[in-house]
Amino acid sequence: MLGRGLRDTPSSPAPQFGLYLTARRPPGTAWAQQWVRWPDFGLPAELSELRLALASAWVRAADERVEVACSGGTGRTGTALACLAVLDGVPADEAVAFVRHHYRWRAVETWRQRRMVLHFDDDELPGRATTA
């Protein structure tokens, strides 16, 4: 799993799949991609959509080169990478520190993003709509 800012040059070799976390649809790429609407410094518009996208990216990463990116590559990308770490077995209360150590020291920029990671594996993720 790779993280980057969309302003940066893609890695070489190029990814086979990209998960893009931006407020507006990102430009097309030569590889398959999925977009999750997510404003800068905020949370995703639909947390359930993010959960599905991250689960899909996590499964694909077993056999494909997968990148996760937002505009700058720090807040949203770091938050998504921390959630992926939780999916992969890192305890939620250690996931932000794990990503900051292994990816980027400023990753996961806001308290809301940190809180989302902390509760990512909860049934009642804060801000998540529940169905009766």
Fold classification of 2-118 is Protein-Tyrosine Phosphatase; Chain A (3.90.190)
Task: Band the pLDDT of 123: cuts 50, 70, 90.
Answer: low
Q: Is the pLDDT of residue 122 over 80?
A: no
Query: How far, in Å, are 7, 93, 113, 130 from residue 98 at the CA level?
Result: 24, 10, 15, 29
Task: Work out whether the CA dihedral 3, 9, 11, 14 comes out positive or negative.
Answer: positive
Tell me the pLDDT tens digit for each residue of 67-80.
999 999 999 999 99
Its pTM surpasses 0.85 = yes
Q: Mind listing the pLDDT tens digit for each residue in 66-121?
A: 999 999 999 999 999 999 999 999 999 999 999 999 999 999 999 999 999 999 98
| Residue 53 Cα to chain centre, angstroms | 9
Q: How many CB atoms lie within 10 A of CB 33?
A: 17
Query: Is residue 130 pLDDT above 70, yes or no?
Result: no
Residue 41 is classified by DSSP as: T
